[in-house]
Structure 1
């Protein structure tokens, strides 16, 4: 097991990376939470609101506001679930999928620009760490499922 200081450093780096990447969504006029919810809907939709709240890890009140705003912006649409018409599900519109793709591209370009500024050795270490970081992400997800 790794010592607490190292674990704290890792958590801090992951949090800072997430904050910096989330900031790229503001170029599309979305808050980080709105961009995250839109991305989840575009990637996994259509989704019921309960499932969406669980996947995103936000409370229903916050999700309701985010879904309302994304609906106002015509980035998602709300429809009755064909299996249970009492349940609402949300799905990305074409405009929503386009915004999501632009946000992904902005984030990818931001990472690429930063990697271009780093020494080759650091870039290689980051790339080499990807499989382990992907395992970490899966393990964290499994503990919250």
Structure 2
């Protein structure tokens, strides 16, 4: 059994310690907002916050989470910054297909929690998740709006 704090709640997880956090979130806990994309940590569809840091959940085994708190897209609006990010995403109609957007929102939330008034370079450095629809300009605009 591995004990994890996810979205503010303790969970006793009966899984192998090397199980990726992504699979525990989706398959064990039913938190399907975090998406499986590439499985090698490059696309960012699986991004969650681990103690406020944007983290690729497909690459972190649950044994490595330890006492760190995990936040997923399902709880992002419990945070004031997360609410602003989601509001900007909706106002600017950022998503096209939407598959990558939960990871994008989580990455933007982590950025704005750490850097409330990011520069264009800060946004470019932090927003590294891939979007097959190419909504990068809308994503950056939403980050700027949420920071305003």
The two structures have a TM-score, normalised by structure 1, of 0.31
Q: Which structure has the greater CA radius of gyration?
A: 1
